[in-house]
Structure 1
Amino acid sequence: MALDIDGTLTGVGSNDISPAVKAAITRVTDHGVKVVLSTGRSLVGVTPIAAQLPVSFALCSNGAVWWDPATREIPKRTTFDPGPAVEKLRALLPGSVFAVERTGVGNLSLGRFLPGDLWGETVDATFDEIAATPTPRLVLRWLDRTPAELAFAVKDLHLPGVEWTTDHTEAWLTVVPADVTKGSALHDLSGELGIDPRDALAIGDGSNDVEMLRWAGHGVAMGQAPAHVQAVADEVCPTVLDDGAAQVLDRFFPA
């Protein structure tokens, strides 16, 4: 079972998981199901969530960083050169701030993000320092703009050699290496574990969850997910505020 975090298990940017969701996920593991966190968060942002749940594996940074909670090891980490993307996005979206992930530590930041935006230690950096730092994840916030304004501004954007998605709740854009998505990472991980995707359940709410929902035998979109995310799902459940994920799990894995 693959679970997004923000907007699925928690509110966006929160580490608070409701008792109903915790209980439902624990019951899933009682049925012998492996629970995989599949998230756009960096590893530093995933660890406080994994500490609260019986998680078998975590795919962080939209699948660019794999983490085994049992061994605390990172068996796979895919990076890219962020310089060309930052240069192009800075010209297209003036007033944006950027950060590149330093896995397990924090971020190098070009500009000041809003409080709570970034996980871990954040160090101010120059463009040259960021451009010289291979990273699994580059994030951008377009300050004082809306998600709709960002989506319109990047509708024709082409960034060679990377994958990118925007957020539907914030003017936020995430860039990861080419051919890395939640869906591709789950495809590779399920192959290693000998799990048929047709037997998998996935729940998510964002644009970065589309490939994951398509990968799973049964994909569930949260009730507050954008229309294009709901369109690829097999089912739409209640919102995160209504513990929609718990309601789905209670039905599939009853007590």
Structure 2
Amino acid sequence: MNWRPRLVALDIDGTLTPVGSNDISPAVKAAITRVTEHGTMVVLCTGRSLIGTTPIAAQLPAALALCSNGAVWWDPAKDEITKRTTFDPGPTIKTLQALLPGAVFAVEQTGVGNLSLGHFLPGDLWGVTTDATFDEIADIPTPRLVMRWLDRTPAELSFAVKDLELPGIEWSVDHTEPWLTAVPPNVTKGTALDELSKELGISAEDALAIGDGSNDVEMLKWAGLGVAMGQAPAHVHAVADVVGPTVVEDGAAQVLSRFFPA
């Protein structure tokens, strides 16, 4: 294949690392290094908050990180937030509380951690977690609201929200945990990449994206070549141009090596 992307967009959890881990394999690190050595821009595109993205960026030569599903743009080289889009989480929390009894919520405090309404499981949240009341977090503009439905399965959550309407935000559910992420309206990994690529003068046709989750769907549809990881659910496979190997097989490294061989 003669085509070589000018921009490579990479999800983190389930793509570069096992979900929730900061461990990137040597093969994946080497492949991403080769991408940058060829002059192609690497962009981390993740549902993680900025503080959760920091330990990943520290291991990679990424040019930019689109965190919180595109709501927070961060330049790792300058350690500078270049864009931050927020929304008021109160109405969304109220709707979800009524539908999902027992759910717990956290709003992102960018670069610090989270304000939490209820107690999450150990390891769920990055950074410092501070307990708060509904009134304390409802009107705080945030780029990212997360919810875990305690003692439920991902399938139960997906079924419970199948007809849910949440106006004024973009939201997605996780396929590995009973977890929902909400960000401001019209913000997705795909819209963020579209805006960024236009600023850089790079067309979507010249972009490669790799991901595995529901929050990667718009990114995979946007890119000239969208690659779903092997373990991704069927609806993610369905929108991808190609289905690659799994994360445990260093699938991202295998895909990148097709265009940036050792």
**Is 1:108 aligned to residue 94 of structure 2?**
no
Counterpart of 2:134 (choices 108, 127, 134) is: 127
RMSD over aligned Cα atoms: 0.5
1:156 maps to 2:156: no
Superposed, which structure 2 residues align to 1:1-255 within 5 Å? 1-255=8-262
CA drift at 1:158 = 0.5
User: Aligned partners of 1:250 and 1:33: how far apart in 2?
Assistant: 13
Whole-angstrom distance in 2 between the partners of 1:128 and 1:12: 32
| Structure 1 unaligned residues grouped into runs of 5+ | none
Cα distance in 1 for residues equivalent to 2:51 and 2:61: 18
Cα deviation, residue 162, structure 1: 0.3
- Runs of at least 4 residues off by over 3 Å: none
Question: Percent identity of the aligned residues?
Answer: 80
How far apart are the structure 2 equivalents of 1:156 and 1:129?
A: 29
Gaps of 5+ in 2: 1-7
Matched residue count: 255
Structure 2 CA distance for aligned equivalents of residues 41 and 113 of structure 1? 16
| More displaced 10-residue stretch of structure 1: 189-198 or 35-44 | 189-198
Once residues 77 and 230 of structure 2 are traced to their aligned partners in structure 1, the CA distance between those partners, rounded to angstroms, is: 32
Secondary structure in structure 1 of the residue aligned to 2:41? coil
Counterpart-to-counterpart distance in 1, 2:48 and 2:119:
19
1:96 and 1:147 map into 2 onto residues whose CA distance is 13
TM superposition shift of 1:71:
1.2
Q: Which amino acid aligns with 2:108?
A: E
